[in-house]
Structures are given as C-alpha cells and as structure tokens.
Chain A
Amino acid sequence: MSGTPFDRLTAIALPLVRDNIDTDAIIPSREMTSVSKKGLAGGLFAGWRYLEIGGRDPDLAFVMNDPLYAAARILLGGRNFGCGSSREHAAWALAEYGFRAIVAPSFNPIFRGNCIRNGIVPVELDGAAVAEIAARVATDPAANPVTVDLLAGTVSLPDMGPKSFVLEAESREMLIEGLDAIELTRKRQGEIDAFREKDAAARPWIYL
C-alpha cells in the first residue's frame, strides 16, 4: 500500500547530516519485536535517541531530542542514507514518527524504494546544497522551515531560492496520487499472463 498523497510540504527539518546512516541505526533489530508494520516510531534511531539500550530516557545531546525539532517532518541526511539491511521497518518507523520527506545527497536503492512505497519523498540534492540547508535550519529551525514541492520538483527556504531535484515520473506519480503499485500492475495482468506463457515455452526450467 502507498501512503497519503503528497504534493507540497512546508515543515521544520531535522538535520542529521552524517554519511552512511544504516537501517540498523534507523531502527535496531531489538526494536522490531512484532509481526506488524505499526508501533515502530518509538524505536526510531533508538541507539542514538535514548540513554540506555532498550530504555526510553532521551539522550538530550542527540539532535532529535531538541524541542526545537519536535515538529520536524522533513529529515536532512548524509550520503548513502539508509544503507544496509532491507528492513522496511526503517521506512515504517520514519513514516509513523511523521517524516514525509528526506533530503540527502544519495540513498541506498532498497531504502529509497521502501520510502516511495510508504509515502516518504526521497529528495536527492548535492552535498553542498544539503549542507547549506542544514546550516540555515540550524540558525533557527522554526524561522527557516523547508518546503519540499513535489509538483514543482524543488526544495526551498524562506531566504533560499528553489533548488531542483529529479524523481522518476513513475515514483513521482505514485507519491502524488498515493497509488497502490499492485493495483497499477494488475491492470496489465493480461500482458503479464501472455508474457509468462510465451516465456514458459522458451524457458520451461523456470516454471516448476
């Protein structure tokens, strides 16, 4: 299932511009205790967010616990954001916490796909642009909200002109419309069946 449709969002952004943030850091295995997509927001960044493993006392040195960012809905990340495990729990936890967009220089491909399937916009901007946005936000997060405009394909701040980003049409459309990929594909079921039938004759060893 895809998430809520997304067109444009203006919100406080949380700067966490560290390279190679892995999905074990986004949500540790120990926080994934039930066969469910829900109830994961409390475990988001648990290893950095809390003083003790398994505890819930906030580590006030971690930026996410700064009250100035309590309403953050956009995350600013470093290169190769979401690397490591394919666990979709990372995207589920981010979405449940309230993040609707992540702005970073690059994303791990599996994590990027998981974001799109869960209504989170993966925005790729170069490292200098992300650093500039993070620096502006840090001066006063509430006075420098970030706008992610998916219709226009831009990111802007009150004192910073729009910076363009690219998202393939397929993913952009899915995020804007909140479409269900399985339903879209099912419209082509006839085409798929015909392809499989022809393929089964050419590669019978695939069809057990």
Chain B
Amino acid sequence: MGKTLFEKLWAMHAIADLGGGVGLVLIDRVLLHERTGGVALESLRDAGRAVLAPRQTFVTMDHIVDTFPGRSDLTIMPTGTQFITATRNAAHAAGLTLFDIGDPGQGIVHVISPEQAIVLPGATLVCPDSHTGTQGAIGALAWGIGSTEAEHALATATLRVRKPRTMRISVTGRLGTGVTPKDLALHLLARFGAAGANGHIVEYAGEAVRALDVEGRLTLCNMATELSAFSAIIAPDERVFEYLKGRAYAPKGAAWDAALEAWRMLFSDADAHFDLDHVVDAADVAPMVTWGTSPQHSVALDQAVPAFDGESGRDTRDAHDRALAYMDLSPGQPLAALPIDAAFIGSCTNARLSDLRRAAAILKGHRVAPHVTAICVPGSTAVKAQAEAEGLDAIFRDAGFEWREAGCSMCFFAGGESFGRRQRVITSTNRNFESRQGPETRSHLASPETVAASAIAGAIADPRQEIPA
C-alpha cells in the first residue's frame, strides 16, 4: 500500500508516537502576527521560557495595524497600539525576524510567507491563525493553531498533534473562462458544507488543480479551513519550484539542488488510500456568491437565495432562518442585481498580484457606482509595490477605489475599522459571519472579478458579462 503525501510528511516529522493517534511532531517554521503573537511571546517570557529556534520564527504586522496611507502604530480601536508595541517588543527581545510597519517584507502572513519562501515544500509550518492551511499550496504541511499551542511550538520546536484523517478532492477537467479558484472553493463549500472536511487534511488534486498557478492554489487551499479541515495540501510541482527559486529565504546553490531533489519526491503514491476520496467536475463550477452567514451558504451567482433544506443535513432551521434575517433576504430572491453599499478586495484569500491584475482588467475604463464605497488592500507591501510599478493603483483609483497599505484590514474589522451597520458588502475575503466586517455588516463572498464587476454595477454582477459603457 502506498502512502499519501500527508503520511510521508508526518513520518518525516514524527519524533515520537504519544499513543492514541497523537504524535510529537517537529515544527520547521512558526509564524506570528500581532493579534496573537504578542500574547504568546509575553506568556512564554512570563513562564521563563525561551524561543527554541528563533531563526525559524517570523513575525509580521497584519491583523491589527490599520491600512490607511501614512499609517503609524495608532489604530481606530484605542487599544490596538498595545498589540502592535507588545508584539514588536517581544519579537525584538526574543531575537525574531520581524516584518514591521514600513518594512518592505510586511504584509498578511499567508501572503508574505510564500512570497519570501519562508514556507517550503515538505516543511511543517504553524501559525496561530486559522488560514495557515493556505500555505499547503506550496506542498508544506501548514496548519492553524491556538496561542497556547503556539507557545508550545515556540518553546520546543514541536507540537503534540492528533493525527488528522485524510481526504482527497480531485477536480477533473478545467475551470471555465471567468471561473476562478475562489469560485471553486465556494463551490466545494456549497457541496460539502462547513463541516465537510472536519478534522481531515485535504489534498487537492486533479487536472483543474494542477492547471492553477501558485497564487490560485493558495486561494483554493486558503478556504479549506471553512470546510473545518485540519489543513489542505497540494503536491508541489515544477510550477511551485519555479515560483520559489531565488526568493529571499529559498535555499541557494547546492542547497537548492539538494532541496529540489527531495521536493520532487513529495506526492501521494498512486495506490495510496484516503479515508475520504471525492471527485468534482470543474465544468460544474460557475461564478459563486454567498447569501448567508456561513461560507457554506454559497450558490451560483445566477441563482436565488435557497429555502431551508432539512434533507441536506448542513444546517439547523434555526441557523438558516437567522442567516436570512441577518442578511435581510428571503428564499427565492435572486442574488444577481442585489444592490450593494460597498466592495472590498483584499485578504489572504484574494489580494495577491494576480488577483489585483484580474480585478483591474475589469475596472479599467470604468467607475464604481456613485453610492458604493470601494476599497482595495494589497496583501503585502511587495504586492502593493509591484502593482504600483504596473500602474494598477491608478486603475483602481481612477475607478473610485481607495488604494491602501497592506494588511488584513476589513476582512474582519481589523484595528476597529468597519463598513457600517447593515451595509451590504461584496467582498473577496473568506468569511461572511455575523459582524465579521464590522458590527452588523452583511458580507457576500465572491471572487475579486465579481467584486470588481459588482462595484461598477452597484449591485451583484456576473464578471463574465460585458459591462455597459
């Protein structure tokens, strides 16, 4: 019997079997951000413990820091500064690499890590952030943890991990024109539900996945946590190796050659067994949008808000009704042409250079509807710089978008900024939970293309349709 990629990585990192399906696993990289990093580092220090592998630990400012031009340590939330300064001081004291405000390496943790090759194929990487599985797109075993577990990883370079079950989702065929990795992620959520991969490590495979560029793969893996997965992974290939080559923390010279040889062995064997094995046809995927308050509340953009389906086993009636009331929608109501108040392009899901390029291609020569507040927040300072070098910032600005500094921003009310009560937002982010983008905001998740097309229309719009001049 062959082994899955996950099983190979687990075996490479298993220091000891602790019994009952729990292993002591070697951790190669720890990433921290200012919302939970400061707490973890201070708590570690208070316990008189040191960071065991400081050179393998990286810290960035993304979760609390605001994204207004000319920003400082101040945030709208009066106490935000404490998170920033506590994390900075603790990172310096522990001798960690910090990508601080103003540093060209600063940005959203899951954007800067691949960008600088901090994450590498075959590595184990943890971060006190649920979207850490994003980095599985590089072929790493990367997963999100809590702050207490982060302290454990920092202090011992290990974690005590309950071994996840394995799941493969093979996507056959090719995504259609104008259908994006984000639409595929939302399609999988609609199909498998918010608990569809609960406790599993999901390996994405198949022709449609192999055809994705690295940034598209990062988007796909990003949303596995919305399936309640332990994490996601994609076998690394030449496209990934090409992407990593020459980046800041990638191995160089002979070390690169040795690494490459090892990385080429990272795939699931043909006869490997997965606990769950699903096949999805890429031809079934259309541009998607969410209607409710869970990412599983996704439908094709040309469909209507669904009625409660007790047979689906996905929701309780209570949860479905509450979602409708919160979103101020009724079953049967079409989503296309639903008026919006705001549009947001950003987050670890969809704020990489290719996302901004595709959104800009739609925005070019158009203006957002007069009543729409539109904001673009690049995923990293490097993405922002490259976008500006290509003139994308001018396209966003000319269209009526605010052009911001890099950070998590209004994916979740970072630093206390909000779209406002009962405002309806079309957003390229990953969660549409109640009050996620600020108190009482109503979030509709979609691809950056759909956000751009909707911003122009002033209502939810299909990006594949020609925009009236």
Contact = CB atoms under 8 A, between A and B. Distances in A.
A78 B313 CA distance: 12
B128 A88 contact: yes
B440 A86 contact: no
Q: For the side of the interface on A, what is the size category?
A: 35 or more
Contact of A170 (B19, B199, B318): B19
A121 interface: no
A42 to B, nearest CB: 15
A20 interface: yes
Interface in B434-450: 434-436, 439-440
B251 A205 contact: yes
B128 A205 contact: no
Contacts of A24: 412, 431, 433-436
A206 interface: yes
A206 B259 CA distance: 9
Interface in A42-99: 47, 53-54, 78-80, 83-88, 91
A109 B230 contact: yes
A110 B145 contact: yes
Interface in B375-397: none
A86 B47 CA distance: 23
Contacts of A53: 421, 435, 439-440
B15 A188 contact: yes
B349 interface: no
B198 A207 contact: no
Contacts of B145: 86, 110, 113
A79 B47 CA distance: 36
Contact of B412 (A29, A117, A171, A195): A29
Nearest to B56: A208
Interface of B: 15-16, 18-22, 24, 26, 28, 35-36, 38-39, 42-43, 47, 49, 55-56, 77-79, 82-83, 86, 120, 122-123, 128-130, 144-149, 151-152, 155-158, 160, 162, 164, 194-195, 198-199, 225-226, 228-230, 249, 251, 255-256, 258-259, 262, 294, 296, 314-316, 318-319, 322, 412-414, 416, 421, 431, 433-436, 439-440
23 contacts: A20-B195, A22-B433, A25-B433, A28-B435, A35-B42, A37-B43, A47-B434, A47-B435, A83-B226, A85-B130, A85-B431, A87-B36, A88-B36, A88-B146, A113-B162, A168-B20, A168-B22, A192-B24, A192-B156, A196-B26, A199-B26, A204-B258, A206-B120
